[in-house]
Amino acid sequence: MESTSPRQRLVLARTEARSTCSGKASGSVSKLLVSVRDLGEARVAVSGGVDILDFKEPSRGALAACDPCVWKSAVSEFVDGAPADCTVRLSAALGESDTGADLSSLVPPEFSFAKVGPSGCSTAKKLMELWESVRLPQSVELVPVAYADHLVADTISVERVLDIVIESGRHRLLIDTFGKDGRTLTDHLSIDRLRALANMASEHSVWIALAGSLRLPEMRSLMSEGVRPDCWGVRGDVCDQRERTGRINLHKVTAWRKATGSPAI
């Protein structure tokens, strides 16, 4: 009998454990990513129990970068100066194709992730060239992004991006919205499409995060419909007045933490 590789065994185990309609094993919990613009907001998010601190400047677009000085300060506080039981991981938004490559070399090696937006990458070839142009420290993993509203961002569909992630042997994908105009992820992608995407990602051991102006009731409803990504990403809904350029609110982060950390319904 042919032996199976660790990767194949992982896929089999995950497939067997998955419920019939879920992209994630029943009973497992999703991580919570919160986008923050500075250290003050980062402290609030950590107090609320966030898993991934994602540094970005919300007033300048979907994935605009913070000043790289903020990244350095985050390392001092949340890596070098953190208590031993602190498990928060750091992520940097690098903007879109016009800034991604240049900023990538400035990401500190202590970060876990960096993400770059695909706007303007209207073909698979252009998108792969963007990913290849990113020069991150070896310890930092690129998180490819797909936009649910891909036409307005002049890029390819989320399904096509997931295919390329799989074909190119990458392991992560964030689905977000490009236009922050009040419409949310589910205004662009049906629940069935989201469930199919999560299932496809799971079958190929691709870690998937869902974001895009999500509101807490909407996220709960997606979970109850069997859409269980590895991670939920949020900014606007955890800010005062749900205004994504406002300040992060501890109670709102805590509410998201409780909801994302609950087992499958």
Ligand X SMILES: O=C[C@H](O)COP(=O)(O)O
Candidate residues 233, 248, 256, 257; the one interacting with ligand X per rule CB under 6 A: 233
Q: Cβ 210 to ligand X, closest distance in Å?
A: 9
For ligand X, the binding residue among 94, 143, 234, 253 (CB under 6 A) is 234
Identified catalytic residue from 24, 31, 72, 115: 115
In the complex, what is the shortest distance from the CB of residue 246 to ligand X, in angstroms, rounded to a whole number? 11
Q: In the window 184-213, what residues touch ligand X (CB under 6 A)?
A: 211-213
Does 144 help bind ligand X (rule: CB under 6 A)? no
Nearer to ligand X, 212 or 229 (CB): 212
Q: Which of 24, 56, 125, 126 is catalytic?
A: 56
72 is catalytic: no
Active site annotation includes 56: yes
Q: Are strands 231-234 and 89-93 parallel, antiparallel or unpaired?
A: unpaired
Minimum CB–partner distance for residue 216 and ligand X (Å): 11
CB of 3 to ligand X, least distance (A): 39
Closer by beta carbon to ligand X, 50 or else 127: 50
Site for ligand X in 103-122 (CB under 6 A): none
Give the Cα separation of 22 and 7 in Å (integer). Answer: 20
- Interacting positions 48-77 with ligand X (CB under 6 A): 54
Binds ligand X by CB under 6 A, chosen from 176, 186, 208, 256: 176
- Which tokens belong to 36? 């923050």
User: 35 or 249, CB closer to ligand X?
Assistant: 35
Contact footprint for ligand X (CB under 6 A)? 33, 35, 54, 176, 180, 211-214, 233-237, 244
Known catalytic residues are 56, 115
